[in-house]
Structure 1
Amino acid sequence: MSSTSRTSATPRPVRLGLRENWLQFTLLVIVNACVGGLVGLERTTVPLIGTEVFGVTSDLAVFSFIIAFGLTKAFTNLAAGALTARFRRKQLLMAGWLIGVPVPFALAWAPGWGWIVAANVLLGINQGLTWSMTVNMKIDLVGPARRGLATGLNEAAGYVSVGGTALLTGYLATGYGLRPAPELIGVLFVAAGLALSVVVRDTAAHVALELAQHPTPPPGGRGAGLGQTFARTSWRDRSLRGACQAGLVNNLNDGLTWGVFPLLFTDHGLGLAAVGLIKGLYPLLWGFGQIYTGHLADRVGRKPLIVTGMLVQAAGFVLALALLDHPLLAGILSAVALGIGTAMVYPALIASVSDHAHPSWRANALGTYRFWRDIGYAAGALVAGVLADTLGLNATVVAAAVLTAASGLLAARWLTDRSGR
């Protein structure tokens, strides 16, 4: 009996790979779908809540909720990498969900615009911790050979949920008003995400195994600190610098369209359902596309997808203005181009950063990259607010097209491939 007891208590051997860890990987995919669903609550309705419910007249003031979200999420991403040295990934994942509990209730019943902005501070912390941990844990599980596919599946789950929720909230707002019905579906995302996070196993043993198998030891025999990794990822390493600037501009586009597109297309006569379609289609294509593009990044390399994807996004902004006399067509074609372009870029950038970072400081490198990437939300909202207030919404879209094309050219100059294919 004692022999049987000892045998049953023997832990399973730790192995790297998607097939070997499919159950935990699948649970994390579902968790990240809940993460995306919570932020998807805001994509269609919140800019219109600012103008129509609270009477906010300045575009910059309307976009302040995105600035609050972007800054908070960016700094939480940075902190999340450092926190993995003190806490297990699972603990940080659960902490992120607990912080997100008040968000749907605040969005549904906030008595003033300041409450919406405050809710987005909590949402930024929630997203920074939960999304950072799901992507780190998936990369831990699969090992170096399948990073592109792992990040593609992670981001696909999140952004398909963002898009589906944006679409759903648009239709709910048409039938039941801007509040509270569209926002309360977020309660389901929080409850499911927290419950599943309790079940997920931590991946510390997988990180230890990859460290043991890695061909080169960490610099100095140990992992680099946050300050050293921040400097290396932000500017000292040419490829990591190229990834950071592309990530920043990519999310600048998302932040800009988050605030600008609902106002632009309602100004041209579209209703909430049509705006919800446009705002949903963009992240849906972004999400579903990453299932393929993540796999493709493992086969052809990261750089071709990143450069081409940024140029496709720039074309999406051009389409939005070129066809504005037919606003629904303009919105749909723009959303298609932006969604496909972002799907090409997103998993390839995360995989590229992982390729250039040693496992001992990879969490900090990813945190630094995600810091700069999500600063783009705040930068996009700030640029959009200032330009929209001074030059108009159309000029804001033109500026985004020029900046995105320039970022693609910088990526072509700075990035190098070091994938495990």
Structure 2
Amino acid sequence: MVGQERTVLPLLAEDEFGLTAVSATLTFIVAFGLVKAATNFVAGTLSDRIGRKPVLVAGWLVGLPVPLLIMWAPSWGWVVAANVLLGVNQGLTWSTTVIMKIDLVGPEQRGLAMGFNEAAGYGAVALTALATGAIAETWGLRPAPFLLGVAFVALGLGLSSALVRETRAHAALEARGHDGPGGGLTTREVVVLTSFREKALSATSQAGLVNNLNDGLAWGLFPLHFAAAGMSVGRIGVLAATYPAVWGLGQLVTGGLSDRIGRKPLIAGGMFVQAVAIAAVAVVDGFIAWAAAAALLGAGTAMVYPTLLAAIGDVAHPGWRARAVGVYRLWRDAGYAVGALLAGVVADLFDVGVAIWTVALLTAASGLVVVVRMYETHPRPGRTPPAPRPVDLES
């Protein structure tokens, strides 16, 4: 559902709707990011209260109109409205699948499970970005590429309704033997802990925000950057697919690797790799060089993405883990909106190259925050785990 937009939508804004300001073009990402961030938080809370499966199915129902709205949109406002619904769809469905996998696996393989989950998602993003680029080059930017979305939403709703089982009881079972702050925390307390007070949770939240900030840059600005250099739509599709393809496949390795070597090295290292890759996009020129930079960006993101989720699962008590995942994903997906706004404003005031450099420097700074603030949440086998961190809810 997200992949159908990666190649086509930024080009559609210019070619069919005549948007020339970069900030106006990226409004669809701002709308998507803000709504998805808020919906992530709601999804975590609802999953604790009513169960995981009802939230999952509701998300797919909301997603039904998305490809149709884009196909038939008479104005750019319709596209933005479609992305509001896409944000709700993604917030409900993806948050819930993450929570369900954390429910189903034990702590020793949590990173591996997150790697599989994110690899499935971003592998599909890559394949769809590649497919829509090829379709658009042959049959135009609309409506043909978005027919894939009609099939995707039907499959998502059908599979979720017919095959998925409720997993909340697994979390309840795990909670009985879990140390640390109990499951009776209020939602406000979970928000404060995850966002600010608990060092590992807050460090992962800011890293998630910056990670999706640069993903918003890659989604909205890179196609325009490549098109300005004279790249064909088909080649832009290949570049747009390379980054999530490496990201998706890489998580099959990095998720399990974090179970063996720990979370912190992969998170900090991944943020630094992303910073180098983003800077490279601004410095190099040509299809091969940009493809290499996109692959490096995918590798850095693969190091970070499943590992952040696994770290949340390490620290959060099963009784409030779904809400902690929701809060983390609220911060993480707010990065889409922050990245689109920042990149659009800087690109309009200066140029696209300055916007890319700005995001590269922010990404490197985020890696430094992880180095300084985060402790290791999943020690390597054979090492004594860290003592439980006292949590002061009154100060």
Equivalent residue number for residue 121 of structure 1: 84
- Match among 178, 181, 188 for residue 141 of structure 2: 178
**4+ residue stretches of structure 1 with deviation over 6 A?**
none
> Are residue 59 (structure 1) and residue 18 (structure 2) matched?
no
Matches within 5 A, 1:349-368: 349-368=308-327
Task: Provide the secondary structure at the position in 2 that maps to 1:269.
Answer: coil
**Range moving further from structure 2, 63-72 or 81-90:** 81-90
Give the deviation of 1:213 after TM superposition: 2.8
Choose the corresponding residue for 1:201, options 165, 169, 172. 165
Alignment of 1:287-326 (within 5 A): 287-324=248-285
What displacement does 1:298 show?
0.3
Correspondence 1:69-148 to 2 at 5 A: 69-148=32-111
Q: 1:83 is aligned with what amino acid?
A: L
Identity of aligned residues (%): 54
Question: Secondary structure at the residue paired with 1:416?
Answer: coil
Deviations 1:359-416 (A, max 9, x none): 1111111111100000000001000110111111010111111111111111111111
* Deviations 1:71-130, CA, capped at 9 Å, x for gaps: 000000011111123211000000000000000111111111000000000000000000
| CA apart distance, 1:212 | 2.0
The alpha carbon displacement at 1:330 in A equals 3.0
Give the deviation of 1:271 after TM superposition. 0.6
Aligned equivalent of 2:339, options 380, 386, 399: 380
Which one-letter code corresponds to 1:362 in the other structure? R
Q: Which amino acid aligns with 1:410?
A: V
Question: Larger deviation: 236-245 or 64-73?
Answer: 236-245
What is the distance in 2 between the residues matched to 1:251 and 1:316?
Answer: 15
Deviations 1:257-293 (A, max 9, x none): 1111110010001010111001101001101100100
Using the alignment, how far apart are the partners of 1:346 and 1:72 within structure 2?
A: 20
Any idea what SS the aligned residue of 1:185 has?
helix
The 8 Å contact of residues 48 and 323 in structure 2, kept in 1 or not, is answered as no
Within 2, Cα distance between the matches of 1:241 and 1:277? 35
Aligned to 1:164: 127
1:103–1:119 Cα contact (<8 Å) kept: yes
Identify the residue that residue 213 of structure 1 maps to in structure 2: 177
Question: Residues of 1 paired with 2:67 and 2:256: CA distance?
Answer: 34
Q: Which amino acid aligns with 2:269?
A: T
Q: Separation in 1 of the partners of 2:106 and 2:98?
A: 12
Cα distance in structure 2, aligned partners of 1:77 and 1:204:
17
- Structure 2 matches for 1:227-306, cutoff 5 A? 227-306=188-267
Give 2:339's aligned amino acid: G
Choose which of 216, 225, 239 in structure 1 pairs with 2:186. 225
Identify the residue that residue 396 of structure 1 maps to in structure 2.
355
Counterpart of 1:395, as a letter, is: V
Q: 1:342 maps to what in 2? A: 301
Aligned residue for 1:26?
A: none
- Residue identity opposite 1:381 in structure 2: A
Match of 1:43 in 2: 6
What is the one-letter code of the residue matched to 1:127? Q
- TM-aligned CA deviation for residue 144 of structure 1: 1.4
Give the aligned partner of residue 19 of structure 1.
none
Residue matched to 1:29: none
Q: Are the equivalent residues in 2 in contact too, given 1:148–1:347 (CA < 8 A)?
A: yes
Verify the 8 A CA contact 2:62 2:89 in the aligned structure 1.
yes
Q: Is the 2:62–2:88 contact (alpha carbons within 8 Å) kept by the matching residues of 1?
A: yes
Name stretches of at least 5 consecutive residues in structure 1 with no aligned partner.
1-37
Q: Give 3-state SS (helix, strand or coil) of 2:2's partner.
A: helix
Offset at 1:333?
A: 1.4
Could you tell me which amino acid in structure 1 is paired with residue 67 of structure 2? Answer: P
Contact 2:246 2:299 in 1 (8 A): yes
2:17 alignment partner AA: F
Q: Distance in 2 between matches of 1:403 and 1:329?
A: 26
- TM superposition shift of 1:226: 1.4
SS of the aligned residue for 2:129 comes to helix
TM-score for the superposition, normalised by structure 2: 0.94
Read off the aligned partner of 1:361 and give its amino acid letter: W
User: C-alpha distance in 2, partners of 1:90/1:143?
Assistant: 20
Aligned-pair CA distance for 1:223: 2.6
Residue 41 of structure 1 aligns to a residue in which SS?
Answer: helix
Deviation at 1:323, TM superposition (A): 1.4
Distance 2:150 2:265 in 1: 40
- Letter of the 2:210 partner, please give it: V
Distance 1:165 1:322 in 2: 28
CA–CA separation in structure 1 for the residues paired with 2:322 and 2:349: 40
Local SS of the residue matching 1:179: coil
CA distance in 2, matches of 1:354, 1:225: 18
